[in-house]
Structure 1
C-alpha cells in the first residue's frame, strides 16, 4: 500500500471514529433545591433525529418533622425512604449534538407524616448512588460524577 493510501485510510478511520456517538465529557450530577437528582451532559456524534435517554440511580431521603419555630423536636418522628430513579427524556440534536439536563422526580415521604397541628414535614438529607445515564438510541452510557452525591437541607 502506498503512503498516500495509508494516510487516506487513517484519515477516514479517524473521522469515522470521531463521528460515533460519544459523551464530550463526563456528565455532571447535582441535587436540586427540592432534592431531585439532576444530570447535565453533552453528547456529540449524533445525527438529526431525536435521541432517547434514561437516567437511573438509587438513593435514600431522610424526612423529619419540625415545629413552627423551625426546630426539630427530640421525638423519633423521622423517616428514611428508599429512592429509585428512572427518568426518561428525548432530545432533538442540533448540529449532531445534544446539550441537556435530565432531572429525576422529587423524593416523597410516602406514608410518613407529622402529627397534625404544630409540625411540618421537611426533607433533611438526600443521597444518590449508582448513577447511570444512557443514550438508549445508540447504546452509549456514562456514569456521572460525583457518585455518590449527597445534600443536607
Structure 2
C-alpha cells in the first residue's frame, strides 16, 4: 500500500511510516519513562599540602534536579611522625621520635547544581597528643601518610581516592 506524501510530493510505504513513528514513540517513552539518574562519584583526588593536611577533591554526578545538597564523607588511615630536634637543628642520638596512627573522618554538605556537585574535604595531620620534647629541644612534624582514603555519599556510593597511599616528608615546627 502506498500513501501520497503531500509535503514532499513523493510516495512512502505505509509500513515504513508506521515503523518510523513507532520508533520515535518508543525512543521518547524510554527517555521520559520516569527514570532518574543514578548518583555516582566520578573522581576523588588526594593531595597533601605544605602543613601535612590531606585534601581530597571530588565530583559526584547523577544527583537529579530535586536535590539541593548532598553529604559527602572522607575516611582514611593517617600516620604522622613527630621528632625532637635540638636547638642546633639536629636530632639527638636518643632519637625522641613518635609515630602516631589513627583513622580520620570528616563530612560536609555540598550544594547540588545541575544534578552534580564538586568540592573538597580536608583531614589531618594527626595531633602529637601527649608527646613532647625535653628542655632545649623543639618538636617537629617530620612526615605524614594517608592510606585507604575513601569518599562516600549518604546513599552508600563509595570511591577510593587516588593516589593511595599518599605521603609527604615535612619538617614543620609544631
TM-score for both structures, normalised by structure 1: 0.84
Q: Which residue of 1 aligns with 2:10?
A: none
The answer to whether the 8 Å contact 1:28/1:40 transfers is: yes
Distance in 2 (CA, whole Å) between partners of 1:69 and 1:98 is 49
Question: Are 1:30 and 2:47 an aligned pair?
Answer: yes
Aligned to 1:8, what secondary structure does the other structure show?
A: helix
The answer to whether the 8 Å contact 1:128/1:150 transfers is: yes
Q: Any unmatched runs of 5+ in structure 2?
A: 1-18
What are the residue-to-residue correspondences of 1:75-114 with 2, within 5 Å? 75-114=94-133
Give me the CA root mean square deviation.
2.2
Q: Which residue of 1 aligns with 2:145?
A: 127
The answer to whether the 8 Å contact 1:35/1:107 transfers is: no
Q: Which residue of 2 aligns with 1:141?
A: 158
Q: CA deviation at 1:124?
A: 0.8
The answer to whether the 8 Å contact 1:61/1:83 transfers is: no
Aligned to 1:57, what secondary structure does the other structure show?
A: strand
Using CA pairs under 8 Å that are at least 6 residues apart, name the structure with larger relative contact order, 1 or 2: 1
Aligned to 1:40, what secondary structure does the other structure show?
A: strand
Distance in 1 (CA, whole Å) between partners of 2:87 and 2:35 is 62
* Alpha-carbon distance change, 69 to 12 in structure 1, aligned in 2, over 3 angstroms: farther
TM-score for both structures, normalised by structure 2: 0.75
* Alpha-carbon distance change, 83 to 33 in structure 1, aligned in 2, over 3 angstroms: farther
Question: Are 1:54 and 2:73 an aligned pair?
Answer: yes
Q: CA deviation at 1:54?
A: 1.1
Q: CA deviation at 1:121?
A: 0.7
